Structure 1
Amino acid sequence: MSPLPHLAIALAVLSGSLLAPVASAEEPALIAAKASELQWSAAPSVGPGAMITVIEGDLKSAAPFTIRLKLPANSTIGMHTHPTTERVTVISGNFYLGIGDQSDPAAATTYEAGDTVIIPAGMSMIAGTHADEAVLQLHGTGPWGIDYHDPADDPANH
């Protein structure tokens, strides 16, 4: 048998393997978050009774993050901004949001479970809950932080 067919087969196999997608060592692993298994901890920078769980990422890094915040009933997060765009989805309860100079919770817009709000970096806002607890999912690209306009609103100062 001539070596030509063997060479043709070898070249076909080699070219196919060069064109096939290669899994990178940096590809992310599957992240699955079952609500019943989330590990919650206090979120003192958000306010008294607020809880946080980090599903993905490091909030201090310039990388994607996904977190959930649990806000107790009748809570208020004073006028503040975030350094990055914040994407908020209401998982349960109701959540109010006042944008810009609107610092009156009664005049803020209320969002219900399933609603989403995308807030640009640096946009001033107030937020909170009324009669019920709310669970929010936030995601974006870090680093994430919260900067209060009035130091008296910052829970770290209490």
Structure 2
Amino acid sequence: MQSQKLVLALGLLLAGTAIAFAQDMRPPINADDVKWGPVPPNIAAGAQLAVISGDPSKEGLFVMRLKMPAGYKVPAHYHPQYENVTVLTGEFHVGMGDKLDTDKGMLLRPGGYVEAPAKMHNYGWVTSDTIVQIAGPGPFGIIYVDPADDPSKK
């Protein structure tokens, strides 16, 4: 009898916890529901950005998406925190180093993934309309290897 009461109490506790988690959960979204906006000034114009989860400007995990038109380039840069990038659509070329070099790098197709450790110099470019998802710990920052590549300084 005692074990039955314990099982019942545990079941009620778990049910209450599940409801609390569900109330804190953001509603699911489909790709068509993503709200796109302009990129911040320190990212080259022409792309669009959508924050999916969290707040990239604050501490804590975030997920955002970057929609880039064909021909878009991201010069050599690094981030203060690590970043995880997954290709959702299109073709994303990624390379490591101090200068964007389209003769080097690796082509990633939908489902492709790259993790850049904090402060690793990397760059990217697209040859078709492409969407990547970027996830990691905030605050998100981008520092260009060559300060002249920072669009917010132009």
Q: TM-score, normalised by structure 1?
A: 0.82
Q: 2:90 aligns with which of 72, 88, 93?
A: 93
After superposition, give the CA deviation of every residue in 1:33-75 in whole Å (9 maximum; x if it has no partner): 2111111001132212110000100111211111110011111
Larger Rg: 1
Q: Name the SS for the 2:63 alignment partner.
A: strand
Q: 2:43 aligns with which of 41, 46, 49?
A: 46
Q: Name the SS for the 1:104 alignment partner.
A: coil
CA RMSD of aligned residues (A): 2.3
* Separation of aligned partners in 2, 1:118 and 1:45: 21
Q: CA deviation at 1:140?
A: 1.2
Unpaired segments ≥5 residues, structure 2 = none
Q: How does 1:2-151 map to 2 (within 5 A)?
A: 13=5, 16-17=8-9, 20-21=13-14, 23=17, 27=21, 28-43=24-39, 44-101=41-98, 103-130=100-127, 132-151=128-147
AA paired with 1:138?
I
Q: CA deviation at 1:103?
A: 2.9
CA distance 1:105–1:68, change in 2 (3 Å): same
Q: Name the SS for the 2:93 alignment partner.
A: strand
Percent identity between matched residues is 32
Q: CA deviation at 1:143?
A: 1.1
Q: CA deviation at 1:95?
A: 0.9
Unpaired segments ≥5 residues, structure 1 = 1-7
Q: CA deviation at 1:32?
A: 1.2
* Separation of aligned partners in 1, 2:28 and 2:52: 8
